[in-house]
Amino acid sequence: MTVAVPRPVAALPRVVGADLKVPLVTGQFVEYANLDHAASAPCLEQVRDAVDELLPWYASVHRGAGFASHVSTRVYGQARDAVRRFLGARAGDAVVFTRNTTDALNLLARALPRRTSVVLFDTDHHAALLPWRGPGVRRLRTPSSAAGAVLELDRALRACPEGPRLVVVTGASNVTGEVWPVAELAAVARRHGARVVLDAAQLAPHRPVDLKALDVDYAVLSGHKLYAPFGAGALVGRADWLRAAEPYLVGGGATALVTDHGDRLGVAWSAVPERHEAGSPNVVGAHALGVACDVLGRHWERTGAHERGLLARLRAGLATVPGVRELSLFGAEHDRVGVVSFVVGGQDAGYLAAALSAEHGIGVRDGAFCAHVAVHRLAAGQRALRASLGLGSTEEHVDRLVAALRSLVLEGPRVDYAQRDGRWEPAQDTRPLPPFLV
C-alpha cells in the first residue's frame, strides 16, 4: 500500500520590518499594523539580502573594464531577464528600466508616433491619466460594470480617426482594488487595430501578469509596490515605437557616438533599451526588482490564499462598523485584490487615519490616492480611507483595524487632535522618533 506524503506548505516570503514596534500617544509600543501596501510595500527579506550581497561589487554598468563593473553589468542584465519572465514578455519585447510606473508611462507617452489617438478611463491613477496630452486623447467615464467598460471602449475606438491608437488599461484599481477586464479590453483594442498599455502597478504584486496571455503590447510596474523599494520600475513591451522615438532623456548611455561639427554636435543614439536609460543605471534598484519578481513568481499560490483570506476578513469586519461605506466601481461582488477604500459617515478621513496611527499603531492611507476623479465620484466629494493588504499583513492587523474604527466611531478618540499644515495630528504628540532621526 502506498501512502501519499503531503507536500509541505511553502512559507510566505517575509518582509523587512514584520516585527517593527511603533510608539503610541499612550506611551506604549505595539507591533506596527501596516495596512498601506498599495502606497509602498515593505522590502522582502530576500531582496534586502540580495542587495547586501551586491553592494561590495557595486560599480558602473556597461562602462568599466574592472571586474566589479563586469559583475554589476551581469547583474543588470539578469535583472532585465527576471522582469521579462515575470511579465511573460515576448522574445522581441524591450525591457526599459525606469524610476517607477509614472516614469515608465511618461516615457511611453513621449515615444508615441505623431497623431496617435489615446483612449483611457477617467478613474485611472494619475500616472495613467495625466501623461497623455493633445487633441487625440479621449477620456471615458467609467461605467458601473466591467462589461460596460468593454462596450464603452468599443464605441470610443469606432469613433477614433485613422492612424496609430493606444488604449490605456488599469490592471487593478488603486482605489477599490477591483480587477479590470484586461483581456476583454485588449480583444476590443485588437479588433480596432489599437495597441494596449497595461498599468500593472497594483495588479503585479497580487496576481501573475502575462503579456502574451492577455495580448497587451506594453506593461509598466513599480518596484516600490512590488516589495523592492530601491527606486526602480520598468516599461516592458514592443520595441518599434521606442526605437523610432527620440531618447526620453539625453546623456551618457543613450548615445552611441557624439561628433563635433563646429556649430553643432552630431549624435547617434544607442539602441533600445539603452536609448531610453540615459545616465548611470540604477543597478541596485534593478537587481532588487529582479529578485522580487523571481521570489513572487515562485509563491503565487501561497500569497494568493493569504490575501484572499485577509481580504474577506477585512470586508466582513468593516461591514460591522457603523457608518462605513465601501467604495466600488463595478459592484461589491466584483473580483478584487487586497485593497479596500471606504468612507465613514460623519467622520473626517484624515482625523481617523491620524487616530488609528497615534492610538492603535495602524497605518492606512487617507485622501484621494492620486486618483482624484475616482475618489471624488465614488465618495461623493469626501476624502476616503484605504486599507491595503500584502505580505506583511496579518489577521491581528485586520482585527485591530476593525476594532479601532468601531471604538473611534462609537466612543471617540482618547486624546485631542489638531490640524497642522492641513494634516491631523495629536495636539500633544509625545511619540519618540527612531534614533537615526534624532
What is the chain's length? 438
The b/e string for 67-79 (b: 16+ C-beta within 10 A; e otherwise) is eebebbbebbeeb
Question: Can 370 be counted among the known catalytic residues?
Answer: yes
Question: Looking at 43, 160, 293, 370, which residue is catalytic?
Answer: 370
Helix (H) or strand (E) holding 191: helix 182-191
8 Å CB contact between 231 and 223:
yes
Bridge-based pairing of strands 195-199 and 218-222 is parallel
Give 396's contacts (C-beta < 8 A, 6+ positions apart): 31, 33
Task: Report the C-alpha gap between 247 and 270 in whole angstroms.
Answer: 9
The β-bridge partners of 199 are: 170, 220
Helix (H) or strand (E) holding 33: strand 33-34
Number of other CB atoms surrounding residue 257 within 10 Å: 9
Measure the CA angle with vertex 434, ends 429 and 435; round to 5°: 125
Catalytic positions are 370
